[in-house]
Copies of this chain bind each other. A is one copy, B any other.
Amino acid sequence: MSEYIEHDRHGVSVGLVIRQQFTFAEPPNRMRLDSGAALGPITIAYETCGRLNAARSNAVLVLHALSGDAHVAGYHSKDDPKPGWWEFMVGPGKGIDTERYFVICSNILGSCGGTTGPCSINPDTQKPYGLTFPVVTIGDMVRAQKHLLDHLGIDQVLAVVGGSIGGMQVLQWCMRYPERVRAAIPLATTTRHSALAIAFNEVARQAIMTDPNFNGGDYYQGPKPATGLSLARMIGHITYLSDEAMRQKFGRRLQDKSDFSFNFDADFQVESYLRYQGSKFVERFDANSFCYITKAADYFDLQNQHGKGSLASAFANVRARFMVVSFTSDWLYPTYQSRAMVKAMKKNGLDVSFCEIQADCGHDAFLLPIDRLAEVISGFLRRVNNEA
């Protein structure tokens, strides 16, 4: 089941986006998860841009963050109003140049963009999993992606690239499957969540799970927990921005008014913005997936899970070359957390470059059109590719 769509932007054909699904089966048709539970069959939705070369050596695996999906770049049709989530970065001549590299992006396990997740039908019951879906980890997401690479016949990728929760997957790839990764670009990420990051996720999950429509995760036949998911997204949005970004973007500007309402309407633009972001998100994202993916991020802990408490030990078997990127105003995964991972990599003699990019826009910077980021990524990929 595959669909070929022209990568068409403003009427000009600039490449090829291939949108596919793949259902894999390990005997007995299940994948063993980190929790010990088994899950299967698992379907993975993925898209590719560019062409795999004859040596099968130019694949770049892009790993998306919490609310992303497989649609990384391009338009699905001429009438498609919105391109993929990393259109700025992925495409012909761009930071990740689809004329050179074969880009693969798959929707993560537990999400709601085509890959198996809590909104998928449980074959045993013929009903959506809901909260009977097993809790998955970043490691499980990566294990599923490995099956995809096997399916595509790619032994080693040129690079794994991703920001935030995508960056966690990047790091996890390098530890779980060191022989399959030549280079890695973790962006705006961390080797484990701080208490602050867990706290924000927990409040967001509580907002969803205490919504009366949540109904223990079994809401697919009735009204959705839209209020809770909207609140969760609002909380998330605050953490993706920064004090400075919000000052520049909104300040104290009022919404369509010359003075205060003296009631509980949205007086300030920042209030309207958050309400809008919340309500828009509800249309495209599944509340259960939000809970599962944030839980996976909270559980992620490289030093404990791979290094017995030592981050340096966790990187002991890693072989990839690294380009670690952080952003000055990211307070969700601040630069000091990137520096800690760089230090651990260096202790193992790994080839690491580190770049802290000056940006006022907070954690979300990795998703925004920042030329410096595109330069850093394209330069690094070219070096790795040339030194093959």
Q: Which residues of A contact B (CB under 8 A)?
A: 35-37, 131, 134-135, 192-196, 198-200, 202-203, 205-207, 209-210, 212, 227, 230-231, 234-235, 238, 241-243, 246-247, 249-252, 260, 262-264, 266-268, 270-271, 274-275, 278, 291, 295, 298-299, 301, 304, 331, 334
A299: nearest chain-B partner, CB-CB: B260
Q: State how many angstroms separate the Cβ of A131 from the closest Cβ of chain B.
A: 7
Given contacts A195-B247, A206-B230, 10 further A-B contacts (CB under 8 A): A131-B264, A134-B262, A194-B246, A195-B252, A195-B270, A196-B246, A203-B238, A206-B234, A252-B301, A267-B299
Compute how far the CA of A194 lies from the CA of B299 in the bound complex, rounded to whole angstroms.
32
On whether the beta carbons of B263 and A135 are closer than 8 Å, the reply is yes
Q: Chain B residues near A135 (CB, 8 Å)?
A: 260, 262-264
Pull 20 A–B residue pairs with CB atoms less than 8 Å apart, ordered by A: A37-B262, A135-B263, A194-B247, A195-B246, A195-B249, A195-B250, A196-B242, A196-B243, A198-B270, A198-B271, A202-B266, A202-B268, A202-B271, A203-B231, A203-B235, A206-B230, A206-B275, A212-B212, A267-B299, A331-B331
Question: A290: shortest Cβ distance to chain B, in Å?
Answer: 12
The secondary-structure label for the interface of chain A is helix
Closest residue of B by beta carbon distance from A201: B271
For A332, the closest partner residue in chain B by CB is B243
A227 proximity list for chain B (CB < 8 A): 210
CB distance from A239 to the nearest CB of B (A): 10
Given A231-B210, A262-B135, A264-B131, answer yes or no on A270-B199 (Cβ-Cβ < 8 Å). yes
- Flag if B298 contacts A268 (CB, 8 Å): yes
Question: How long is the Cα–Cα vector from A304 to B251 in the complex, in angstroms?
Answer: 13
